[in-house]
Structures are given as C-alpha cells and as structure tokens.
Amino acid sequence: MTGISGSGKASALKAFEDLGFHCVDNLPLELLPDFAALVSHSAEVERAAIVIDVREGPTLDRLPQILKGVRKRLSTRVVFMDAQDAVLVRRFSETRRPHPLGLSESVSRSIVEERQLLDPIRNVADTLIDTSNFNVHELRAHIQARFGQQDGNKRLLVSCLSFGFKNGVPLDADMVFDVRFLPNPHFVPEFRRKTGLDPRVAAYVRGFPQTAEFLDRVTSMMLYLLPHYVSEGKSYLTVAFGCTGGQHRSVMMAEEMHKRLKKAGYRVKALHRDMVKP
C-alpha cells in the first residue's frame, strides 16, 4: 500500500490488521524481497499488508522494478491511496502534523512534489482508492468490505451526493443528474430558508408527478447498473444530483435515492456538498 501523505494509509493499515493481515508500516524498500520470501514460506502468515511511501526517500523510484521480482514469487496487489489536494491541505491543518517532505515548503507545494515522486508507482497500482469523501470510520469500512470476505452488494459503497450547479459540478462524480427541471422551493417564501431535509420541503418536491417518474426511472437504472459495477470489482460509486443552489431539490433527491438503494441492500450514504444548515 502506498499513496499520498494524508490520504489515510495509517487508518487503512489498521483496517487490514483487523482483517487478519500481518501489517508492517514504513518497511525499508530493500527488505521487500526478503519480506516476500518470508511470507511465501510462512505457514502462519496467510496475508500481509505493508506500507511503503515517500518516507522511503531517494530510493523510492526503485519500487516498480523491485515489485516485478516480488510478483514472480508472490501474488501481490498494489493499492494506491489518494485524495483531492484541498482535502489533504485541510487534513494537515487539522492534525497540525508536518508533511513528510519537510518544513521548508508549504503543504500545498509538498503535495505537488510528492505527486511527481509517486507518479511512476501510481502507474503500476492495481487499485486506486480516493478517500476525499471518507471519514476514518467510512474508510475502514470500505477497506474491510473491499478486501475482506464479504461478497455481493456489500463490496460497493454508493455515495448519493447533492450539489449546486452554481458552485460547479463535483469532480469525483461518476454520474450526474440535473434536477433543475423540477419546480424550485426557493421561490416559496416559507421554504426559502429551509433545505430538502425538511419534511415539508421534501413533500413539496415529491408532490409533482415528474418527480415520482424521475425517481422511479433513475432507481430502475441504478438497480440495473449496480450489479454490473459489483461484478467488475468497482468498490465505490458517486451519484450526484444537482439543482441551482444545492439546498432543496438536489438534497431531497439524494436523500430519497439513499433510502431506495439502502432498501435494495446496498451500502450507501448521503452527502450534501453545498447545503447550508437552516
């Protein structure tokens, strides 16, 4: 396991440990072939997870070549963890920890430099995990579902995301639905300062016949597509619903789709990017 600093590698490693993996953090690169030989001949270690990242220093660029030799000896999967730059900067600010590349540069500049150093390793990764929308608990649940013994729908985490087009389309959305064709509660004075989480606002939006038809059509499409994503090994999917400001219609839609997909047996969460609390 490798990836960008601040993407959650430490939390992911704990999740692997909970799954019964023999875990090693910051293994020196030169020891990787010896570690692989040890695992391949061990009767006690069935699965192992190790972290090698930018802390390795100048020799990190040798990792792709060393991996070739390891893969001849042992079945190996490279997991690369990443997150959006703004999320990484916020995490470093919240934890008040320095970036591994040092204090001479800003965190933003260090992230850019780290991406350049890790780009060759990212290219040989088998699995990419973007943790931008995960908290610690969701990341651990995602690792456990993705690499544990669970099968079927539980391997896929679906995020139902609401947003406002005036703030831009989410970059991490796999599907985007524009719900601006629905009547806007913003123009109803009693609803203007409320959100789609308010039962009265939700009932107002749900009361139009086009709302029910849209939801039924999207639900039908999602229930058709999701098993195919599962069979292809996709571990998370972001379905975004957008209205003008991200306060009313999109919020109601994301919440309703969350309920429907959860009822169908999928792991699902609702996120509201632009919603302002009432």
Residue 162 near residue 246 (C-beta atoms within 8 A): yes
Taking only the tens of pLDDT, the chain with its 278 residues reads 999 999 999 999 998 988 888 999 999 999 999 999 988 888 788 889 999 999 898 889 899 999 999 988 888 999 999 999 999 999 988 888 888 887 677 889 999 999 999 998 998 899 999 999 898 888 988 888 788 765 555 567 899 999 999 999 998 899 999 999 999 999 999 999 999 999 999 999 999 999 999 999 999 999 999 998 887 767 789 999 999 999 999 999 999 999 999 999 998 999 999 998 76
Q: Are residues 143 and 6 in the same domain?
A: yes
Residues 6 and 116 occupy one common structural domain: yes
Q: Note whether 179 and 158 are same-domain residues.
A: yes
- Tokens coding 67: 């991996």
Domain end call among 147, 170, 187: 147
**What's the pLDDT at 233?**
66
Structural domain including 135 reads 2-147
Same domain, 172 and 114: no
Confidence (pLDDT) at 105: 79
Count of domains for the chain? 2
Residue with tokens 């991490």: 172
Q: What distance in Å separates the CA atoms of residue 208 and residue 129, rounded to the nearest whole number?
A: 39
What pLDDT sits at residue 33?
92
Contact status, residue 64 vs residue 71, Cβ threshold 8 Å: no
For residue 54, the domain's CATH number is 3.40.50.300
What's the pLDDT score for residue 77?
92
The per-residue pLDDT for 96 is 80
Q: What pLDDT sits at residue 155?
A: 63
Which of 117, 147, 177 finishes a domain?
147
Q: What is the pLDDT of residue 152?
A: 53
What three-state secondary structure class fits 126? Answer: coil
From 103, 120, 147, give the residue that closes a domain: 147
pLDDT at 7: 94
Dist. CA 45–CA 64, nearest whole Å: 24
DSSP 237: E
pLDDT of residue 278: 61
Q: Are residues 94 and 156 in the same domain?
A: no
According to DSSP H, which parts of the chain are helical?
A: 9-18, 32-40, 63-73, 85-95, 107-122, 136-147, 199-206, 209-231, 249-263
On whether both 143 and 172 belong to a single domain, the answer is no
Whether 278 maps to a domain, the answer reads no
Closest CA to 4 of 113, 82, 79: 82
In this prediction, residue 232 carries a pLDDT of: 73
Clarify whether residues 167 and 134 are in a common domain: no
Would residue 277 count as lying in a domain? no
